[in-house]
Amino acid sequence: MTTINKSDAVQALQDAGNLDALYRAIAPLNMTPGWIEREKPLLRPEPDTGFLPTHWRYSDCKAALDAASRLINTDLAERRNMVLRNPAEGNDYATTKTQVNAYQTILPGEEARSHRHTPHALRVIIEAEGSFSVVNGDKHPMETGDIVLTPGWSWHGHGHDGDAPAYWLDGLDVPLTALLEPMFFEPHPDGYAKVDRVTPDSPYRFTWETIQARLDGASPDDEGYFGRRIGLEADEMPTIAITVERLEAGQATRRYRHSANTVFSPMMGAGTSLIGDHEFSWGRGDCVAAPIWHWIEHRAEEDTVLFSMSDENLMRYANYYRFEGAE
């Protein structure tokens, strides 16, 4: 640590005859003028993120996971996953500014050790039969079409009793936690958490059948920004908003943008999304990142069920949320 001679600093301030001298004098005091121009202004008319609209194809990521399955097991990689890194300059791992997504696989007969961490997490199960999750002692299936929650600081692990590899999309608020800095991680002292209850009706699991039944009862969006849409309750994960919407073949949503970072993944169907100036053609299991304040529009080529996770809850809580629709 540099020791600052306060009397010399005060004398330099008193002797400053121009702004350049003032700037030199305050630098040792760890101050900076609030009025100078900066390459990236502290305040700006609207969000200016460096994160880019990006599309990851499930087929590519699945091939990467299959290659990893040949080369590494759960003893060496507690979670065999491929992180979806946004190509934003200087970004190391995040998918959007506040969220990270990854594709993960587990092989038949494997069991991943239990751990817990501050960040909240979820899984969208793309292909699985016979896999399971254990969250806070509650063991439940992870089957194709399920959405599984892992609230922050809950013990969780997973395993696979089926005959074919299981694949899913992870979503966590790790970048947000890293920004705010309350990051804690702990491996389970016994390696695997004790199972207290075995049930398909875990509060941490939304089944495909349950999701479809709720979509059947959802009302259309009269303004046309979304299809029939539901929100999935995750009170223990307040930083993540989870929604699922249904788009019929040929349906196009009205263009909008909002002050939230969003990741989309089609659970079934095919179509195209316009995110800002980028057009992405997607299919089941793909992942599309829509950073904050980019225009969003979806066009379904087939009947589609579209999952999304965003930091909208956080933005609303902080009174930062803004929504703007196209005319």
Residues in the chain: 327
Element containing residue 307 per DSSP (H, E): strand 304-310
Rounded Cα–Cα distance for residues 87 and 260 (Å): 19
| pLDDT at residue 259, rounded to an integer | 98
Q: What is the pTM of this model?
A: 0.93
Distances (CA, A) of 321 to 231, 257, 274: 17, 11, 21
Rounded to the nearest 10 degrees, how much is the dihedral formed by the CA atoms of 213, 217, 221, 224?
Answer: 50
pLDDT at 300: 98
pLDDT, residue 96, reads: 98
Residues 6+ apart with CB under 8 A from 264: 273, 287, 288, 290, 298, 306, 307, 308
Q: Which residues of the chain have pLDDT under 70?
A: 1-6, 76-77
Per residue in 136-187, pLDDT tens?
Answer: 999 999 999 999 999 999 999 999 999 999 999 999 999 999 999 999 999 9
What's the pLDDT score for residue 252? 97
Partners of 124 in beta bridges: 147, 169
Task: Please give the Cα distance from 72 to 65 (Å, whole number).
Answer: 10
Over residues 234-265, the pLDDT tens digits come to: 999 999 999 999 999 999 999 999 999 999 99
CA atoms within 13 A on the CB side of 31: 12
Task: Specify the 3-state DSSP secondary structure of 5.
Answer: coil
Q: What's the confidence (pLDDT) of residue 47? A: 94
User: What confidence score (pLDDT) does residue 1 get?
Assistant: 47
Report which of 250, 255, 253, 325 is spatially closest to residue 296, judged by C-alpha positions.
255
pLDDT at 327: 78
Domains of the chain listed by start with CATH number = 1-36 (no CATH), 58-207 (2.60.120.10), 211-325 (2.60.120.10)
What pLDDT is attached to residue 275? 98
CB within 8 Å of 114: residues ≥ 6 apart: 134, 155, 156, 157, 187, 188, 190, 191, 192, 193
Residue 40 near residue 48, CB atoms below 8 Å: yes
